[in-house]
Amino acid sequence: MASDAEILGRKNQDDLDEILAVKADYDAVIRVVQNNADTIFSWDYERSRVPLSKLYEKAKTSQWNGTTDLPWETDVDQEQLAAMTPMGDPAMLSAMGIDLTGTPMAKWGKKEWTEIAIHEQNFMLSQFLHGEQGALVCTAKIVETVPWIDAKYYAATQVMDEARHVEVFARYLDEKLNGHFPLNAHLGLLLDDIISDERWDITYLGMQIMVEGLALAAFGLVHAVTPEPLLRQLLRYVMSDEARHVAFGVLSLKEFYEGLTDAELAVRQEFAYEAAVRLRDRLVAAEVWERMGVDPKLAINTMRPPGMSKNDDPFQMMLFSKIVPNLSKLGLLDANKGWLREKFDNIGLTQFETWTDTSIEYELLDAVAQDREAAAAAESA
């Protein structure tokens, strides 16, 4: 198996200087990435994969309209929302044991704390938006490259889902918030790798399991804490789709990975590890501090509560709660003498291994069906 230096380009995956040194120019409106995969036609139209066929039928009946099914008339006061977050309230930071003495933030007043909290919101939603466009492109690639007709059918429904997600996140940023951020370098480099790889299953693994899995957990966490009703409903419906998308990856890859050699599985394990670290590095959000004219390294070290290491941050760790059970179901944690399990043990992620995998729970997250059933019950009452 490859070393961290070979996989990540650095010996220590926690090296903050190395993480902050990763730069990429994603400011251009148009970006070209070479797609090295073959387009595959399949003339075998037999519907032989029952779980994928079931998922396809579910996708057809769970479509929603981003224009008419969300309460866009809702007024959003971003400054008020900012004040309700720890970043927007220095008293909350103090209660967490964060000491700002000797830093530029010690001189900040309400204006600066509100501003950085707003930047934080804009950064988070911007990366959600960019990730959804990555999913749109990758799923279109899956339609082209996957050899099974059942998978092509389902992937085509996901292309529509992802277009809708890009639409609603872009509209929310444009109409309800007050600023965009460009694509984060760590996320961008991962998307480049996923799109440029010639193997169709790497596109699945990178997007359906890793990026979409983290997105599903992130959307759930934000949905649980935000008081803003439009964003809550938007995230609830997006999560309904995302759970199907992750299940699609699990159901497809489980069959394929059962036929791979240890050497072939090792390549997938290394890719999953690299993707996990890049997704975690994205959360550093150095761009937010740069907008405020503050050295990101100083700010990041200052804002970590006493005694908490990077691997102890409960919010960051929870973002992987949808990824690890799915990797376990695919057999990637324990292949090659548990190489990936050991890597995830080192960053505190294997605690989620026994959580329900998404191929089982996706129907429980179908908010669209739940709302339609509730509306029908109300009409008949």
With b for 16 or more beta-carbon neighbours within 10 A and e for fewer, the 8-38 pattern comes to bebeebeebeebbebeeebeeeeeeeebebe
Phi-psi region at 102: left, alpha or beta (left = phi > 0; alpha = psi -120 to 50): left
Residue 312 is predicted with a pLDDT of 66
C-alpha 208/C-alpha 217 separation (Å) is 13
Report how far Cα 282 is from the mean position of its chain's Cα atoms.
10
Residue 311 is predicted with a pLDDT of 64
Is the full-model pTM beyond 0.85?
Answer: yes
φ/ψ (deg, to 5) at 113: -65, -40
Report helix angle 149-175 to 50-61, nearest 10.
30
Sequential DSSP letters for 163-180: HHHHHHHHHHHHHTSS--
Phi-psi region at 228: left, alpha or beta (left = phi > 0; alpha = psi -120 to 50): beta
C-alpha 135/C-alpha 249 separation (Å) is 12
With b for 16 or more beta-carbon neighbours within 10 A and e for fewer, the 238-252 pattern comes to bbbbbbbbbbbbbbb
Residue 309 is predicted with a pLDDT of 67
8 A C-beta contact, residue 156 and residue 126:
no
- Mean pLDDT by groups of 10 residues along the chain of 381 residues: 91 90 86 93 94 95 96 96 87 89 94 95 97 97 96 97 98 94 95 96 96 94 95 97 95 95 97 95 94 95 79 78 95 97 90 88 89 91 80
Domain 22-29+48-380 sits in which CATH superfamily?
Ribonucleotide Reductase, subunit A (1.10.620.20)
Residue pointed to by tokens 């699945």: 204
Residue 176 is predicted with a pLDDT of 97
Residue 213 is predicted with a pLDDT of 94
With b for 16 or more beta-carbon neighbours within 10 A and e for fewer, the 260-281 pattern comes to beeeebbbbbbbbbbbbbbbbb
C-alpha 334/C-alpha 340 separation (Å) is 7
